[in-house]
Amino acid sequence: MPRKKVISINPKTSVPKYRQLIDSILSAIERKTLKKGDKVPSINQICAEFKLSRDTVMFAFNELKAKGILKSQPGKGYYIASTEIQVEERVFVLFDEFNAFKEDLYNSLINSLKGKATVEVYFHHFNYKVFKNLIAESVGNYTSYIIMPAAFDNTNHLLSKLPQDRVYIIDRKKADLERYPVVYQDFEQDFYDALVEGKERIEKYRRLVFVNPGGKEPVERSRGFERFCQENNFKYEIVKSLSGIKPSLWEAYFLISDRDLVEMVKIAKYCKFKLGKKFGIVSFNDTMLKEVVAGGITTISTDFNEMGKTLANMVLSRDKSQIRNKSRMIFRNSL
């Protein structure tokens, strides 16, 4: 049996060599490349081919023996004693920030992995240095890695330190990370599709305003908004904040920030604009609170519970798919 199908060592990653050796043999068993009774490459073969010390290989083999995976026969070498692999799944999760809808995503992920894996969650808060350090510190400590790069581009050189077949990207599809499995939102198409879905309610408004603060927010949403408005001859405006804005009747506002949502509800109340009649509000990212605020806020949102379930299934099944988690408009009284 060719050794290259069994052992794989990447000298460029910071994952310890003994851990790569263990993972190679376990992976070969999972793929059925190695079966019970099969002989594995000898210590001398592995040392010579991959330039490893004898101690490194022995450390890995001893751990596999302790797990009951390998057995040794004096003078003959090491053989697969069992293919019943029970690897403790430890999942590293790196989110951008914590908020109400991320809590829904996290809880869904945790509940779906309950009893099957332990999960440790971290936040980079859109700080690249924190993002970089957390990934570096996680290397070799987990069996799977769920990464939310958010607005960061060109992060492949950081993620390449992690085992490629154990990394899952979440929320955004990145050009430099296209080789990784991902559960993502298509922000441009999602916004456009939601507006088409709500067109019947939107048509009565004379002007549509999208308040997009920019920065950490995906720029693709603006393209989806513009495309819908231009195709359907709506008067529209895209602004970064509510500063200097004087809302009028027969306008509908699309708000990313929950702070802007609260401010706009207060403005509408002060001006005695009845939401959903001659004045409309749509918020992004649904939460339980938006079901009851001001009689119910219409939202454009992906299903974060579904996203968590999909991620959990991918981790447990080693699924390598790229799955779009679609958004939809959830109609309530504010539109």
8 A C-beta contact, residue 224 and residue 191: yes
Determine the angle formed by the axes of helices 304-317 and 100-113, rounding to 10 degrees: 40
> Tokens 């594995």, residue?
40
Q: Is 172 helix (H, G, I), strand (E, B) or coil?
A: coil
- How far apart are alpha carbons 131 and 54 in whole angstroms? 35
Integer CA distances (angstroms), 109 to 93, 104, 105, 159, 316, in order = 10, 9, 6, 21, 11
Residue 247 CB-density burial (10 A; 0-12 exposed, 13-18 middle, 19+ buried): middle
pLDDT at position 19: 84
pLDDT at position 86: 67
pLDDT in tens, the chain (335 residues): 344 478 888 887 777 888 889 888 988 888 888 999 899 999 999 999 989 999 889 988 988 887 788 998 888 899 999 888 766 788 999 999 988 888 999 999 999 998 888 899 999 999 999 999 999 999 878 889 999 999 899 999 999 988 888 899 999 999 999 999 999 999 999 999 999 999 999 999 999 999 999 888 889 999 999 999 999 999 999 999 999 889 999 999 999 999 999 999 999 999 999 999 999 999 999 999 999 999 999 999 999 999 999 999 999 998 999 999 999 999 999 99
Six token digits for residue 164: 């490629």
pLDDT at position 1: 39
Task: Write phi, then psi, for 56 (nearest 5 degrees).
Answer: -60, -45
pLDDT at position 141: 82
8 A C-beta contact, residue 139 and residue 14: yes
8 A C-beta contact, residue 132 and residue 14: no
**What domains appear along the chain, each with residue ranges and CATH number?**
3-80 (1.10.10.10), 90-186+304-326 (3.40.50.2300), 188-301 (3.40.50.2300)
Residue 193's closest CA among 218, 219, 221, 171? 221
pLDDT at position 87: 63
- How far apart are alpha carbons 256 and 238 in whole angstroms? 12
8 A C-beta contact, residue 64 and residue 85: no
pTM here is: 0.76
pLDDT at position 184: 96
Q: Residue 259: CB partners within 8 Å, gap ≥ 6?
A: none
